[in-house]
């Protein structure tokens, strides 16, 4: 158990008026216990009360072991997995995290009609949004690897190469550099770039195409994520104009990052640049997202996020313009809030590149 992280969560529980919570998110359980369990249809849950007392409930098949600071209560497939948990929780409000399966919650409510389930993710989410030194070291390293991979893949661009093939090469380069697994990379050419989350296919690269490479994967459980847009053989005046506008939006937003500034203000800084440039309706998503043990995790970087920046927060800054039937441009960096502003974790160049 990571006692420092437990202490942060119990402090957040006090602020939220919660005396007990259940944690079932795979990433959050790893954050607290060091156990990475993919339970699938089976139940796993960490019970935590405001004093810091913790009990882990899980299936014997997970191969977990009890520890002095973390007693383990196991069940088998033939057991009711909720029974022991129902005996441990106290009456009153019980914080439930957003990932706990409803079939377990309903069973718990039937066994214990004296509990009141409430939203319980916030205490853990708030703790996870500020990275500690161990996490920062991993995130810096993973972003350096991401820089290397995007450079290697851009060097492979040639006439006729397909989106699917290039995506497979992204994964191969990540695996060679220690990635935990392959990912679903976003690689798109030409008109396909107008879909922000295009699913790669057999489209072949041709002269005049924009190329979006949005590449991401977990390495030692922590995610990297970046996007670069380049052009093949030629770049039109319109493509250049859009690229320069997106780059300016990215750099303007980054320049505004410092402790105390609201996340909504960071989104607005980028959005205003694109709107003033005449393409506001084509910037169709939030500016970014928190990242760490999950690729997308709190906080949300959008106009709706009135959350002040704090030292240690890491999130993406990824403005984009997507012109249906024509092309698209997105530029994404991961940034970490520091006492004096921010540190940009990605160093691969953002100057417009025409690949010949």
One of 3.90.1150.10, 2.40.50.140, 3.40.50.300, 3.40.350.10 is the CATH number of 3-128, namely: 3.40.350.10
Span 117-163, pLDDT tens digits: 999 999 999 999 999 999 999 999 999 999 999 999 999 999 999 99
The pLDDT value given to residue 222? 98
Task: Please give the average per-residue pLDDT across 302-306, as a whole number.
Answer: 97
The CA distance from 269 to 255, in Å, is: 9
Q: Whole-model pTM?
A: 0.95
Helices (H), 256-343: 263-276
3-state SS, residue 226: strand
Indicate the fold that domain 133-355 takes in CATH. Answer: Creatine Amidinohydrolase (3.90.230)
Mean pLDDT of the chain: 97
Span 247-269, pLDDT tens digits: 999 999 999 999 999 999 999 99
Span 308-339, pLDDT tens digits: 999 999 999 999 999 999 999 999 999 999 99
Q: Exposed, middle or buried, 194 (CB in 10 Å: 0-12/13-18/19+)?
A: buried
The CA distance from 325 to 321, in Å, is: 13
Nearest-Å Rg of the Cα atoms of the chain is 23
Each domain of the chain, given as residue ranges in start order, spans 3-128, 133-355
Span 177-210, pLDDT tens digits: 999 999 999 999 999 999 999 999 999 999 999 9
Task: Please give the average per-residue pLDDT across 41-46, as a whole number.
Answer: 97
The pLDDT value given to residue 1? 85
If you write DSSP's letter for every residue of 238-273 in order, what string do you get?
HHHHHHHHHHHHHHHHHHT--TT-BHHHHHHHHHHH
């Amino acid at each position: 158990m990571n006692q420092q992280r437990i202490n942060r969560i119990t402090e957040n529980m006090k602020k939220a008026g919660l005396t007990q919570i259940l944690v079932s998110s795979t990433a959050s359980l790893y954050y607290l216990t060091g156990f990475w369990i993919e339970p699938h249809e089976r139940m796993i849950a960490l019970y935590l009360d405001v004093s810091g007392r913790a009990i882990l409930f899980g299936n014997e098949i997970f191969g977990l072991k009890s520890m002095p600071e973390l007693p383990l209560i196991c069940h088998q497939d033939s057991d009711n997995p909720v029974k022991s948990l129902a005996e441990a929780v106290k009456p009153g409000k019980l914080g439930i995290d957003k990932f706990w399966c409803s079939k377990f919650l309903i069973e718990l409510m039937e066994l214990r009609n004296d509990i009141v389930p409430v939203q319980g993710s916030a205490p853990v989410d708030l703790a996870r949004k500020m990275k500690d030194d161990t996490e920062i070291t991993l995130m810096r390293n993973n972003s350096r690897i991401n820089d290397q991979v995007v450079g290697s893949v851009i060097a492979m661009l040639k006439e006729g190469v397909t989106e699917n093939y290039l995506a497979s090469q992204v994964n191969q380069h990540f695996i060679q550099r220690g990635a935990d697994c392959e990912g679903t990379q976003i690689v798109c050419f030409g008109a396909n770039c107008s879909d922000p989350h295009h699913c790669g296919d057999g489209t072949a690269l041709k002269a005049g195409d924009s190329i979006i490479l949005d590449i991401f994967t977990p390495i030692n459980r922590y995610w990297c994520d970046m996007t670069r847009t380049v052009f093949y053989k030629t770049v039109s005046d319109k493509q250049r104009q859009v690229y320069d506008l997106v780059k300016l939006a990215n750099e303007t937003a980054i320049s505004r990052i410092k402790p105390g500034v609201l996340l909504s203000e960071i989104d607005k800084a980028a959005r205003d640049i694109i709107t003033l440039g005449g393409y506001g309706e084509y910037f169709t998503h939030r500016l970014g997202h928190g990242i760490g043990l999950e690729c997308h995790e709190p906080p949300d970087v959008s106009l709706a996020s009135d959350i002040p920046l704090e030292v240690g927060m890491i999130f993406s800054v990824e403005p984009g313009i997507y012109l249906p039937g024509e092309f698209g441009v997105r530029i994404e960096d991961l940034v970490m809030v520091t006492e004096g502003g921010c540190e940009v974790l990605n160093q691969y160049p953002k100057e417009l590149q025409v690949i010949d």
